[in-house]
Copies of this chain bind each other. A is one copy, B any other.
């Protein structure tokens, strides 16, 4: 979004806007050190607090991060492009150019935490899965890292009565994962709904995702449906908002 009304902007915002433009133009690339407080004070004739505020803006927006004693650096983190509708990846639409640069093609998400437990289904989940109040859920929790940094927490809920004794209730759900196992049970998901929200993280989420202060989380709640329209899985995902672009493509009408 183009910034306007620059005439009325406080100085620190104008300096921040210049730094952002310099990052966008590629003058400062990922991992580069930005001008420090002393540099900005000299270049713009401003007080230390103003220079600090300007650098604070970039940090609050997730564009830069402070490293103790070393200065403020352009964040190295490359955005992950998460495609909601994979089947379209290969066709002409996906070859169009995109606003936000992102690449994961050469990188892999690594799971560093995984558990599968049997628990009472939270009541909101029970409603979606069509379970009786107090019924039990198979709960699969995972955390994903990219380049060594946690980026995604995911918790899947399924009907424990359906999954008991199957590989779905095991940490390793076997080749093809839980959707392949659901297909084995005649409950293959054929349709998905994803609901997307964003908010500031809870302290626990910030800790588990190692979030830079001022970074929101994106919440994706994905429900998987069988051909007869029943929900078989609810997956609540919590994403580091500074790490992800979600992409959805669809036809008109």
Q: Which A residues form the contact surface with B (CB < 8 A)?
A: 1-5, 13, 57, 60-62, 79, 84-87, 92-93, 95-100, 122, 124-125, 127-128, 153, 155, 179, 188-200, 202-205, 214-218, 221, 223, 225, 229, 231, 234, 236, 238, 241-242, 244-253
- Min CB distance A58 to B, Å, is 11
Q: Is the CB of B251 within 8 A of A61?
A: no
Q: Is the CB of B191 within 8 A of A229?
A: no
Could you say how many copies of this chain the assembly holds?
2
Q: Is the CB of B202 within 8 A of A3?
A: yes
- Min CB distance A79 to B, Å, is 8
- Min CB distance A109 to B, Å, is 18
Contacts of A87 in B (CB 8 A): 251, 253
Given A216-B198, A229-B92, A246-B195, do A99 and B124 touch, yes or no (CB 8 Å)?
yes
- Min CB distance A213 to B, Å, is 10
- Min CB distance A65 to B, Å, is 14
9 contacts between A and B (CB under 8 A): A2-B122, A3-B204, A5-B204, A84-B250, A93-B191, A99-B236, A100-B197, A192-B251, A194-B247
Q: Is the CB of B216 within 8 A of A199?
A: yes
In the bound complex, CA of A245 to CA of B216 (Å) = 15
Q: Counting chain B CB atoms within 10 Å of each CB, which of A1, A128, A179, A188 scores highest? A: A1
- Min CB distance A150 to B, Å, is 14
Q: Is the CB of B252 within 8 A of A192?
A: yes
In the bound complex, CA of A60 to CA of B199 (Å) = 9
Given A202-B61, A248-B248, do A128 and B225 touch, yes or no (CB 8 Å)?
no
